[in-house]
């Protein structure tokens, strides 16, 4: 499936990665399971990240928790909020694209639903010198976090 906005975002991106997981849940169930995944080790990484961000001279507000998000709470309307992401484009049972902008970078999360699987796309564009410094330090953790979140999403929302 080709999503015009996604193609445009990746053209001049500084980083793009795709994680693919198998799952037989709806896109809403996937997104709820994905965004709700907040184990203790991941919350610890976010606290460490907050200290690193301060070292780079950047501000970071409290990251909103999305634990317990239900499928019916997932916004598909542009401008809707999902944790710290803002929906830019979405189509029920097909795809979801949302972004977040900070002083050092803009990141987009896209999830494309295909029969029996989901593709999770991360797109990053750097701002200022702090963008590549920040992202290259967190990159190994980013891969771990997104992979685990995608696996959780493929299981759907815990009952």
pLDDT (mean) for 85-95: 93
Mean pLDDT over each residue of the chain, to the nearest integer:
85
In this predicted structure, the answer to whether residue 74 has a pLDDT above a threshold of 70 is yes
Tens of pLDDT along 14-26?
999 999 999 999 9
* b/e burial code for range 25-36 (CB count within 10 A of at least 16 → b): bebbbbbbbbbb
Best-predicted range by mean pLDDT (7-11, 61-65, 83-87, 107-111): 107-111
Question: For position 1, what pLDDT does the model report?
Answer: 54
Give the confidence band of 134 by pLDDT, cuts at 50, 70, 90. confident
pLDDT (mean) for 68-74: 84
In this predicted structure, the answer to whether residue 46 has a pLDDT above a threshold of 80 is no
Prediction pTM value:
0.86
Q: 146 Cβ partners below 8 Å, 6+ apart?
A: 17, 19, 120, 122
Distances (CA, A) of 128 to 14, 51, 88, 104, 106: 12, 19, 23, 6, 11
pLDDT (mean) for 51-76: 72
pLDDT (mean) for 123-144: 86
Angle at which helix 27-36 crosses helix 130-155, to 10 degrees, equals 120
């Amino acid at each position: 499936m080709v999503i015009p906005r996604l193609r445009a975002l990746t053209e001049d991106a500084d980083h793009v990665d795709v994680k693919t997981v198998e799952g037989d849940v709806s896109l809403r169930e996937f997104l709820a399971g994905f965004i709700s995944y907040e184990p203790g080790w991941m919350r610890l990484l976010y606290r460490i990240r907050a200290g690193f961000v301060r070292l780079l001279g950047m501000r970071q507000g409290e990251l909103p928790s999305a634990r317990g998000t239900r499928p019916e709470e997932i916004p598909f309307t542009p401008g809707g909020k999902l944790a710290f992401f803002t929906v830019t484009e979405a189509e029920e049972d097909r795809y979801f694209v949302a972004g977040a902008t900070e002083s050092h970078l803009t990141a987009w999360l896209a999830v494309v639903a295909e029969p029996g699987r989901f593709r999770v796309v991360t797109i990053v564009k750097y701002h200022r010198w702090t963008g590549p410094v920040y992202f290259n330090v967190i990159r190994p953790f980013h891969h771990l976090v997104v992979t685990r979140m995608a696996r959780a999403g493929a299981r759907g929302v815990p009952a």
